[in-house]
Structure 1
Amino acid sequence: MNQQTDPYHDHSSPEQAQLMLIEQNRLLKLVASGQPLETCLTEVCHSIAQLNPGTHACFLIADAQRVSFLQVIAPNLPAAFRQRLEGALINEFCIGSFGDAMYRGQPVSCPEIANDDRWSSEWRSLCVAHNILACHSEPLIGLNHLPFGLLMLCFEQARIRTDWEFQLAQFSTQIASIVFERDRTDLVCQDREKQYRTLFESIDEGFCICELLLNQNGEPQDYRLLEVNSAFEKLTGLEQATGKTARELVPNLEDFWLETYAQVVQTGKSIRFEQESIALGHWFDVNAFRIGEPQRHQFALLFTNVTERKQAEKLSRQATEIETFRVSLVDALRPLAHPVEVQATASRMLGEYLNVTRVVYFEVQGADYVVERDYVNGADALAGRYAIESFGEKVLKAYRAGQTTSASDVTADPNLSPEQHSAYAAIQIKAHIGIPLIKNGEFVAGLAVHNATPRVWLPQEIALAEEVAERTWAAVERASAEAALRNAHKQLESALAAGAVYTWRWNIPAYRVIIDAKFARLLDIDAAVATTEGLPIETFINWMHPDDRVLGFAALQQAITTGEAYTSEYRVQLATGEKRWFTARGQVEYDATGNPIALLGALADMTVAKRLEESRRRAEEDRDRFFQLSQDMLAIVHMDGYFLQTNPAWETTLGYTLPELTAQPYIEFVHPDDRAATVAAADLIAQGIPLHEFENRYRARNGSYRWISWSVAPFIEQKLMYCVARDMTDRKSAEVEREQLLQQTQVAKEAAETANRIKDEFLAVLSHELRSPLNPILGWTRMLQTGRLNAPQTQQALATIERNATLQAQLIEDLLDISRILRGKLVLNVVSVDLASIIRAALETIRLAAEAKNIQIQTMFEGTRWRVSGDVARLQQVVWNLLSNAVKFTPEQGRVEIRLSEVGHHAQIEVSDTGKGISAEFLPYVFERFRQEDGSTTRQFGGLGLGLAIVQQIVELHGGTVNVSSPGEHQGATFTVTLPLEQIESPSLPNSSELFAIAHASLVGIHVLIVDDEPDARDFQAFVLEQRGAIVTVVDSAIAALQQLNQVMPDVLLSDIGMPNMDGYTLMQLIRSRPPEQGGMIPAIALTAYVGELNQRKAIEAGFQKHFAKPVAPDLLIQAIADLVNISNSSA
């Protein structure tokens, strides 16, 4: 064929492409709806037939090994053809288009099947028989890039496929691949779900999936179990857990679990750990890990119950610890030679091992039991002698029967009597173990373990205590026997050294005693008879001192009766009358039938030893007497860390008895801060180095600490320390008080020096600030008096005089304000104040000064509520002071900023500048009176250092605060004032029209009488009032004023206070005593240099309506006069 003229090679038209797109959308929706594979591929075949009539599509799906075609989907082909393809081996087509497309994974076309030698004759015949003359095969490729089947487009004409048909093949294979991967994924998911379920339910470990629950703040508060396996319930004991929260299942679950799982969810890091849950009563080995996206807050737990292993480990560890303890106990007791040391060491080691409050080893002595030393841990010592009946009938019966008693809570122990319950409560014991020691059928000793809190005793703990009791008994007996043996050896050695050892033999059947010749000579009897025939036993007995005969003979009889070794000590009275001490020892001899026949023994003369012992006893009594009477604290201390003996001065000083002091190591009494130094000092003493004037603190019985000074002499061989201690607490307290007094004196001295320096600086500044304005005032005044100044010079002179006079007036007003503040007399006239108006008024006042220095002033008003309750004049004084300081300390072309804003329930005024700034050193003193950062004579800026102190006081009187901040010098400063916003209605300030009226008040036609003894003041006041149209009459005394009132009745009286002969107060009182027609009701103003609340009150009480301090602003005086006239007219 000529491909160029073949119509089947036409490219697809836009209409075909649009139809293909429609079919593609329809088929994809079908796939997405979950329809089976065969249904979806059948629809694809129908779409191909519809889009390209005459073309029949066939899908062949291979098996997993790609050996044969497992499934054939060809709805538009004959059934016989479909049946022949199903199950056909793929290699049968390897030479044809099917096989090549399947194995090579690439499209293959066959334009003429009948003549294509690649096909077997059988398949060619089959295709031709079903009118399939040409075909195109397209492989179906999976995500693993391997073909899983193919698409065959069958044509009824022998031809090659067109581009449109190629696009149809591509379109169809894409849809088929999507369907196949969908189903394969579902199968995999189902298989994995099945595997997961099998694993989930078959593993022995517990497994659960949980969701972390957060509160509204995003904080973990619980977790919910979404899914659990069957082992979960078995390992935890929690039933029907799915869907429930941990707190629902275990309300008292420990916080550890939630905190740990929250960490896993938040960090994404898995955690493997072992932890015990007391609430569940189990140990768990847990592997926790986050699952899914972080925002899902899900995690999984794989765990197993390891309680049995933990218990086994605990038992093994306890067994090892007990065995180690046994070895340590044996090693510790082996070298001890003193029974009390054995008891103390064993009690201490057992108490420390069991971590109990007290361990007591006691010995039964007759009707009592004796505690030499006990181990205590935060409890009182019980060393002493007690009646054995105090155990109570039931406990004592058990002890005598050799039965160990124990109680985990003594308050519930029925074996204890009420007296015992009270006794245990008194020593704060709640649990105990009691172990009796029975030897030869007798209750001889015991060991008790006490604890201050209830405690369940473990069987191994009770067994260990019983073992320690037995070992302690054995060690005590060994130590006692060794001590007795050492004493016997010492006595024998002494006797042999003195040559005072004698032998004797008592022939029991003959009742005669044979003694050696040396003993016979000592007794002054015939040695020949005594050494051969012997002497009657009565003679031997009579040699004994009368007081010793009964016990001496009884010892002989006991030895014969029991067969035990004979031991006795008695005195012998010689013929000379001398009495000598002897120690007798012997052993009974028996015949073959067991009858006693003789008692052989030896006598040792112990007289010298007895005398030495007596001397030693007396010396000890003398020492004890000295010990008891000494005011110093004397002690003998063993180098193992325990007191052995102390004198009463210890109890007097610290309050402890000797048993209490010896019951625990002395280091327990030492202040914790002094223990290291005390241990170091003890190490030096143990090396044989004496200690002098070592000081530390000891705890007294009342819990306080007292300073002790020590002098210690070591005795290395005896391992003893002899100590002399003195209470130095009073001396230490005196030293501390003296040091504190010295520091206070130094602080007071420095404060006084600082105050003097500040005072001197202030006086110097005050002198300078008061005198400096006088120079231009006086100078220009004299120039004016000469009359030689022209008009501009005159204006300059007057302006200079006014400026400096105003400066002096301001200085005086600042001093008066400080005086009022110091005396608590600063009074506020509270009205409703608009802070914005206050700021604008202050800005007008300082604007000229700012313009003179080319300083830019920026204002910012934020918010709408700026009204506060306060004194208008004082608040304006605050703002003016801060602004004038800002302008004053800001260089030319600088910037000043004032901001008014609302901050909560407060109005806030911030004044910032780019000026000189404030150093960090001076910043804390900014608001102190009379303090200036530069007080030297070369300072650049004037002033008394009072302005900011006044500002602070005024602001605080208004219930506000003022603060300052500055980055440092030359970096500007910011002052911040906060004032509480007005909450209720208050009298309001005059509005702008009223303010204008005040500034332009007229006094035309008002008659004013001025009374002042100072001509300059009087003339100035008259001049000011006449300028506003007033009719003025002036007089120079109070008397003249009264005379004037008799002639003319003025509208207003303006009077000075301080005048000769009669002051203004008296004048006003006389006027008010007059009837109205004689001036008794005339409005009056006091104008005086006497300022302060006291003077103002006196003026009002005298009868004046107003009081002004000189100098007074003319506008203020004019308005006051106008107000009084208006009030007077209204009253009339």
Structure 2
Amino acid sequence: MPVFTIFKPKKIMKDFQQNYDEFHGKSGLNISLLQNFKTEYIFQQLPIGIAIIDPASGKFLFINSSFAQILGYTEEELLKKTFQSITHPEDLNKNLELHEKLLKGETDSYNIEKRNVRKDGVVIWVDLTVIRLKDKKSRREFHLGTIFDLSVRKFSEQQIKVSEELFRTVISNAPISIFATDKSGIFTLHEGKAIERVGMKAGENVGSSAYELFAGLEVIEHNGQVTTGKSILDRVSNGEYLSGITEMNGVVFDNKFAPIWDNNGKVNGLLGVATDITEQKRMENERLEFETRYRMLFNEIDEGFCIIEMIFDENQNPIDYCFLEINPAFEKQTGLKDAYGKRMRELEPLHEKYWFEIYGRIALTGVPERFVNRAEQLHRWYDVYAFRFGQSEKHQVAILFNDITERKLVIEKLQQSEHNLAEAERIGNSGSWDYNVTTDKASWSKNMFRIFDVDPEIPKELVFKNFVENLVHPEDKEHVLSVFQDAVTGKRPYNMEYRIIHKDGKIRNVRAIAETLFDERGHAMRMIGKVEDITELKKRGEEFRYRAEIASNISDGIMLNRKKDGIIVHTNRRFEEMFGYGHGELIGKHVAILNAPGSNRNATQVDETIIKSVHEKGKWKGVVQNAKKDGSIFWSQASVSQFEHSSFGRVLISVQMDITEQVQAEMALHENEIRQRAMISNISDVIAIIDKQGINQFISANVEKWFGWMPDELIGQNTFNNIHPDDQKRIKDDFYSLFAKPGKIVNTECRYQCKDNSYKWIELTAVNRLSISAIYGVLVNYHDISQRKMAVEKLIRHGKELKLLSNELINVQEKEKKILARELHDEIGQALTAMKINLSSVLKNIPNETHNLAYERIRETDELLNTILTRVHDISLNLHPAILEILGFIKTIKSYAQQFEKRTGIKVRVIDDFKSNLNTEQEINLFRIVQEALTNVAKHADAQNVEICFDSGNRWFVLTIKDDGKGFTANPNIEMSENAPGIGLIGMNERVNAMQGKFRISSRPRKGTKIQIKVLLYGKGK
């Protein structure tokens, strides 16, 4: 970069003009001279971009290597472009205006800072200078341009601007304030959002003394020592760096004080940063409450939990651990009794070494781990989450674990089943898939990736649109999309053949079939399907359609028989080998000899089916079960068409391919499904299949474990008879709607009767599988949720208790506030009033001519008493609105609104078109809500106007408070809101709950806020 600073655009242009004048007289602006000039001077000597441009077209005639390097092109690429094509669209018009002036001769040169677009798309800033050159002989004009890369400078300017804006944003929005003083303690800076919390404005204190503001404050230093603000300022002025906690108007600050040094090493002022930690203090109190709740959770959770202390040998190898704390579920999960305070080796001497290694590693590194391991000595599998607890030197680890032995056994069985299914798919050259219509994502079996030649590690094709776009043959895409759309809308089944393209360009044929599952509204949710690679089958079927194809493709079996009587007139060698006959042995025999015994079709039926299809469609295709000469059975894919033979008349040509392996694979898949069904009896939940009448057709064996019934006792019985009478109608309605729609799913809860006549709560999930022949019923899953129900009921009961406690707390607070307000008014207020009367009397009796310093001090004291009396009155009103008992509810609200408007400048309109029929408790609570709402408006809303509206009917009283402030994103259910500005709204909600009322808040950013409270009218004194 430094080398660029020695070149000046004007100097370069001047040198170029001189060289141009020297050689232009030789032969005009000659190309060879330009090339010579390019090589020997500017084009190879300067690290700036230089180009000669055709004025009319803007095309580059010559460029140097620096020009190409700056723009990221080769020289050859740029010579095919114009300056317009590389100019940023937003700067092109300005560039063209200057270019036009140069063309018209209005100027000889121009300079502009503009943006160019590099070849790689990156936008760069350049300094462009262009001069006009004109050949005196040919009168031809050229433009010479130079560019300097300004990107680094522009980036630096932008970063500086961002940094400045970021600093201002942080200062104005973060909960801190920053101040600085000169050496005499006068504020030179006092900014930050935190000072607004104590009623100050940014910059308000500049010019005033820091000693006046801080001198009276009590400072708790971080070493615990209590001192004054003046002492802190004095010590910082002497060069100390100090910090401490202060409280001002209920706001707690963490302060850092530092001296400002001049160049001579003397203190020239003070610098301070105050951080609002009020919320932090509040959170510390909440932490204590959280610990109490944690202890409750610790004792209630079903998972095992313990805290251990690791024991290491002299080489820091973990050798044992001691149980410091265990929860009630620990013994159930582990089988270890009285583990508290004991070591693991003491409880289980042969406990596996890897447990100690894992927990030892966590204790030393502090890195938590989640893992699944088997405890051989305990004969159980565990899902474990472990993390370091407390300080690192204590080597303590907290462990949350769950016994997953049963789940592990089920997973292993399922994995074996999946392996068997994959093998069956591999043998049958087929694959299965499961597509989620809602998320547009599919999951494929392993063989699907092989069929479609897709890398399993890059499954972008699993999104349906990508699948069609990337894998389906272009001519088949529309058909595939059409069938898919009809399937998800229920118009027709998903059953089709189409072509796919592999990465090497090869085309494959596949057959796809799927079932669509719909929700209760008829919307498609899932599609479960199967894909079979039928490329080879497709080829063989098409190759043997006519006589000409017989001669060229004899790898499959081919047979001709007369249409009128079914007598075989020709077979090829492959057909004879397929059926185990010698050459010519089948000629003259009837085709029925080839049918497998017991296929439930006689020769006549076979002929009629084939002949009818050939007559109507021109061909017949299908899978047939055949018998060889030795009686062995095999399967073949047959394709039959007809043509006119010169010797035998109309004949049927049958092309057959042995697909026994494929059929056996499908049969293996079917057997695997049967095995999977058998596995159902081993999972923890109860699985059942019922018919349309609700009769149990199948029920898994673990029904005895959960409900005490033997499966045989329930099979053949109506399942609704075991549903609790109060739940029966609802469950029957759900099932009757389920029966009407294939694929529909119902999920609900109800009570199920046990054999001992007790009832258990269950979660019931049912899927309509009446359309699937293997099931032909409704598949039902029963999951025992009794424990969960008990836990929910317990939580509801605790919630009610907390609500009662909250209401009682509000009442106690109001009583205490009332007592304190009465004391302020009756005792302190009266005493201050008496003092004011005495002072007023003294002032009146002092003659005017004797006014002196004492008189002024008495007058100032009198004014101070006025202020104190006003403040005492405000405090008394805030603590307990005694004025409610004197003026009544409406006048009290109006009075408070007038005071609020005078204090904040925010206009308050009170609409009171009603007669109050509220009781005393309701009036106090509603007054408090108005107070809190107006306080929130003043603190958060930035509003200009507030409207308070009262309305009442025969039973309900409605209070509405609206403002035109900045608003916020609100949740109508305030108990669930995370965006409410502060905890005041929660307090309002508690008061409304105490009155058994309704609370609603609505707000949007820049649209203001509306609070509405509805309470029942009970009348005075109720």
Q: TM-score, normalised by structure 1?
A: 0.21
Q: Relative to total residues, which structure has the larger strand share, 1 or 2?
A: 2
Q: Which protein shows a greater Rg?
A: 1
